[in-house]
Chain A
Amino acid sequence: MDNGATMHLAVSLLPGIADASPDPEFTSLTRFVQKAEAAGLDMVLLADSAPASGSDGANKQMPFEATTLLAALAMVTNRIGLVAAASTVAHQPYNLARRFASLDIISHGRVGWNATVAQAPREAANFSRPEGFSGDDFRRRADEYIGIVQGLWRGWDADALLFDQSGGCFHDPEKMHLLDHKGEFFSVRGPLNVARSPQDTPVLVLSDLSVSDLDIAARTADVILLDGGPRDGAKARYDDFRRRVALCGRDPDAVKVLINVSPFTDGTATIADGMEREFLAKSCDGFNIQMPARPSALDDLVDLVLPALRRRGLFRESYRGVTLRSHLGLAGGGGQ
């Protein structure tokens, strides 16, 4: 039986790198994600590879935008979490909240939004903002944006839809809530025209965080991705972050901290040992392993690392629930 101490494991597809095999890209991605699902991983993160977000264009590009790709992958999987990157510059908050709310219903509650409060170079120039944003403006704007998105995700109560055909009452008007947000950067009345998520709200994953972003993350995130630092700093960093979460009035376990791991180059035994050490030292809740989107890239993880972790009782044998929140051991949506 699994105990509560299971680690959380995600894989991220490195941006801009498609499978070089002759298979159509979607076929190859399907095999990748199905293999990750068969292995019981919590989630796959899909980067969004606009040149604007920093890839150098030297690699063969994946021909897909991440949210559309996610919808398609939801059709060929049924348990694994699917998280797409989407930029706060490329989308209006209402549109982004709505896209992810819809994806969450399409996938029966397996969706997350990977947001960043860091500005991608060049991106604003493709979205009619050639001057970009100052770093500080961008952070305040992203903070406000995330609050709007999470607020819109809560616009409909879970029991708002009545479907009362004979009485002529489709939904309970008392259970639909306007957002009425008026802020520094945005004004959004709401509500969304998409029903409540099957998992309460989509999961919010924050990445590329600087120290000054940690309080935003502590207040809003469900998962944060951190780069692996020096070993002795990781524990202090984790404890510090959990304190910040508690200061926001949230349960420290309400945010899962995953450490980014580069593609495996060391021996797999060493990798499993390193993951075990960090996890048991309580310096993270799990790992996000970055790899190119070819199914063979998963081989070492699936065939060697996961069995080693499972033998040591560190990773669950199979999915416990059907939603991404249940995989991650999360209750309802973050923030508030």
Chain B
Amino acid sequence: MTSRQMKLGVFLWATGHHIAAWRHPKAHVTAGIDIDHYIQLARTAEAAKFDMVFCEDAAGLREANVGIASQTSRSIGFEPISLLSALAVQTSRIGLVSTASTSYNEPYGLARTFLSLDHLSGGRAGWNLVTSASPIEAANFGSTGLKPHADRYERAREFAEVVAKLWGEKLGATGHDGQSFSVRDSLDLPRSPQGAPVMVQAGASDVGRDLAARTADVVFTAAQTFEEAKAFYDDLKGRMAAYGREPDDIKIMPGVAPVVAETEAEAHEKHEELQELIPDDVGVALLSSYLSISDLWRYPIDGPLPELPPSEGMKSRQALVIEQSRRDNLSIRQLARHFAGARGHWRIVGTAAQIADEMQARFEGGAADGFNVMPSYFPGELEAFATLVVPELQRRGLFRTEYDGRTLRDHLGLKRPV
């Protein structure tokens, strides 16, 4: 008998998730132009039996201020679908999940591209649906600016419906003719080796949760505390019955940003070393972008976060940051530094046993089905997690020691769609 085991993804991000990762002497500073770096990361993750590697994406710069942008490594990198198609050939078991926007693609093209990745990888592809909240991206796709949150989600709902039909060959003779999209033909590619690529979502707003409850196989989320994670987990699973789905049809995988070392002191030392590398203006700019406001720099850096109006950007993320600043009574500088490291995700600094304890508590406490691991810098922190934390989870019977199946759906224990 096997007990329930956690699902683990590696969230790939150039030099690392920490904003100053690229400055770390052990980070691979040319990650954004070095395919071999990514091949190595994918192989490390596969050797550790991770369910998947995951690529976030934005079709544009991440920072509007060029001076700030030039102090981070985030302005250049690989486009993820081409990256994962290359990695498909260099790996044989691990899942390959990429973000792509419903606002700046058409469902026919996107469904076809991911299905092709699925064929290249023998059924290991997944699509992370985002609606793209950045005005910088919007400016690369027309002159009308960022669409309101509700409009983006309405388009996303129809988009996901059309993609599911195209993957499931259920388009019908008349095709699809809807509010945002019309599609006449079924796809010209054979059916997916895993039934359909895996559908991932990350939006945590009310409308985002409903869309996920209806269509997602996996949900990524950011949650700092156990209570937040548990509340999100229960809420999302509770919404599924309305769409005729079982709670286990979605795997909820919060982000976790671990900093692991042999001793707790060493782990904290490693973490501090990274925090020291964050320039104040970069930390504040990053925080501003998550809060969807542009003038945070006007406020005293050692003072509290000002009152903020609701934004059209990432609603759920904004609420999370504000709540944390009030709870821990953090100054803008402290919040910026804290936030820069894990970008609002859950950070654990400690030994393998301490990290495993915390993950186990959320997993067994009904707050997570698994985790999306966000190493602070690559390749070092992924290797540390793979050699220290993964064996600890395996010893506890919480994580697989070998792949059982071949497809991403197999790894995640997801049903094949009919």
Q: A interface vs B, CB < 8 Å?
A: 16, 25-26, 49-52, 55, 57, 61, 63-65, 67-72, 74-76, 90-92, 94-95, 98-99, 101-103, 105-106, 122, 125-130, 156, 161, 163, 165-166, 168-173, 176, 182, 186-191, 193-195
A193 to B136: give the CA distance in the assembly, Å.
Answer: 11
**Interface pair A194/B77, CB less than 8 Å apart:** yes
**Interface pair A94/B82, CB less than 8 Å apart:** no
**Interface pair B143/A69, CB less than 8 Å apart:** no
A-B contact pairs, 11 of them (CB 8 A): A68-B116, A69-B85, A90-B108, A102-B79, A126-B183, A127-B183, A163-B29, A176-B66, A187-B142, A193-B59, A194-B76
In chain B, positions 46-74 with a C-beta closer than 8 Å to chain A are 58-62, 66-67, 69-73
A156 to B61: give the CA distance in the assembly, Å.
Answer: 12
Q: A165-B25, A194-B77 are in contact. Are A75 and B143 (CB under 8 A)?
A: no
**Interface pair A68/B71, CB less than 8 Å apart:** no
Determine the residue in chain B with the shortest Cβ distance to A179.
B140
A235 to B35: give the CA distance in the assembly, Å.
Answer: 43
Determine the residue in chain B with the shortest Cβ distance to A64.
B116
A165 to B142: give the CA distance in the assembly, Å.
Answer: 36
**Interface pair A67/B82, CB less than 8 Å apart:** yes
**Interface pair B120/A72, CB less than 8 Å apart:** yes
**Interface pair A193/B141, CB less than 8 Å apart:** no
Residues of B within 8 A of A72 (CB): 85-86, 88-89, 120
Residues of A within 8 A of B23 (CB): 165-166, 168
Pick from A63, A92, A105: contact of B33, CB under 8 Å? A105
Determine the residue in chain B with the shortest Cβ distance to A168.
B71
In chain B, positions 81-103 with a C-beta closer than 8 Å to chain A are 81-83, 85-86, 88-90
B190 at the interface (CB under 8 A from A): yes
In chain B, positions 160-183 with a C-beta closer than 8 Å to chain A are 175, 177, 180-183
Determine the residue in chain B with the shortest Cβ distance to A73.
B89
Pick from B180, B185, B279: contact of A52, CB under 8 Å? B185
Whole-angstrom distance from the CB of A157 to the nearest CB of chain B? 12
**Interface pair A92/B85, CB less than 8 Å apart:** no
Residues of A within 8 A of B140 (CB): 94, 188-190
B295 at the interface (CB under 8 A from A): no
Determine the residue in chain A with the shortest Cβ distance to B29.
A163
**Interface pair B61/A191, CB less than 8 Å apart:** yes
Residues of B within 8 A of A188 (CB): 139-141
**Interface pair A168/B279, CB less than 8 Å apart:** yes
A133 to B156: give the CA distance in the assembly, Å.
Answer: 25
**Interface pair B71/A169, CB less than 8 Å apart:** yes
B40 at the interface (CB under 8 A from A): no
Determine the residue in chain A with the shortest Cβ distance to B192.
A63
Residues of B within 8 A of A186 (CB): 142
A170 to B27: give the CA distance in the assembly, Å.
Answer: 13
Whole-angstrom distance from the CB of B117 to the nearest CB of chain A? 5
Which 3 A/B pairs are nearest by Cβ-Cβ distance?
A71-B85, A102-B79, A65-B116
Determine the residue in chain A with the shortest Cβ distance to B117.
A68
**Interface pair A173/B76, CB less than 8 Å apart:** no
Residues of B within 8 A of A126 (CB): 106, 108, 183-185
Q: B interface vs A, CB < 8 Å?
A: 22-25, 29-30, 32-33, 35, 58-62, 66-67, 69-73, 75-79, 81-83, 85-86, 88-90, 104-106, 108-109, 112-113, 115-117, 119-120, 136, 139-143, 175, 177, 180-185, 188-190, 277, 279
Pick from A103, A173, A176: contact of B82, CB under 8 Å? A103
A258 to B85: give the CA distance in the assembly, Å.
Answer: 29
Q: A63-B190, A72-B88, A176-B66 are in contact. Are A127 and B79 (CB under 8 A)?
A: no
A189 to B81: give the CA distance in the assembly, Å.
Answer: 22
11 further A-B contacts with Cβ under 8 Å, apart from A170-B73, A193-B59, are A65-B189, A92-B105, A105-B78, A125-B184, A130-B184, A156-B76, A170-B75, A171-B70, A186-B142, A189-B136, A194-B77
A218 to B195: give the CA distance in the assembly, Å.
Answer: 46
A127 to B111: give the CA distance in the assembly, Å.
Answer: 12
Determine the residue in chain A with the shortest Cβ distance to B278.
A168
Residues of B within 8 A of A122 (CB): 184-185
Determine the residue in chain A with the shortest Cβ distance to B85.
A71
Residues of B within 8 A of A193 (CB): 58-62, 75-77
Determine the residue in chain A with the shortest Cβ distance to B38.
A106
Q: A173-B66, A194-B76, A195-B76 are in contact. Are A68 and B113 (CB under 8 A)?
A: yes
Instruction: Report which residue of B69, B175, B182 has the largest number of chain A beta carbons within 10 angstroms of its beta carbon.
Output: B182
**Interface pair B120/A128, CB less than 8 Å apart:** no
A131 to B81: give the CA distance in the assembly, Å.
Answer: 30
A71 to B33: give the CA distance in the assembly, Å.
Answer: 15
**Interface pair B32/A71, CB less than 8 Å apart:** no
Residues of B within 8 A of A76 (CB): 89
Residues of A within 8 A of B33 (CB): 105, 161, 195
Residues of B within 8 A of A187 (CB): 139, 142-143
A91 to B112: give the CA distance in the assembly, Å.
Answer: 12
A126 to B140: give the CA distance in the assembly, Å.
Answer: 23
**Interface pair B119/A106, CB less than 8 Å apart:** no
A189 to B64: give the CA distance in the assembly, Å.
Answer: 12
Whole-angstrom distance from the CB of A47 to the nearest CB of chain B? 12
Q: A95-B59, A163-B29 are in contact. Are A68 and B81 (CB under 8 A)?
A: yes
Pick from B79, B86, B190: contact of A194, CB under 8 Å? B79
Residues of B within 8 A of A99 (CB): 79, 81-82
A65 to B136: give the CA distance in the assembly, Å.
Answer: 28
A105 to B78: give the CA distance in the assembly, Å.
Answer: 8
**Interface pair A105/B119, CB less than 8 Å apart:** no
**Interface pair B22/A170, CB less than 8 Å apart:** yes
**Interface pair B188/A57, CB less than 8 Å apart:** yes
A157 to B59: give the CA distance in the assembly, Å.
Answer: 19
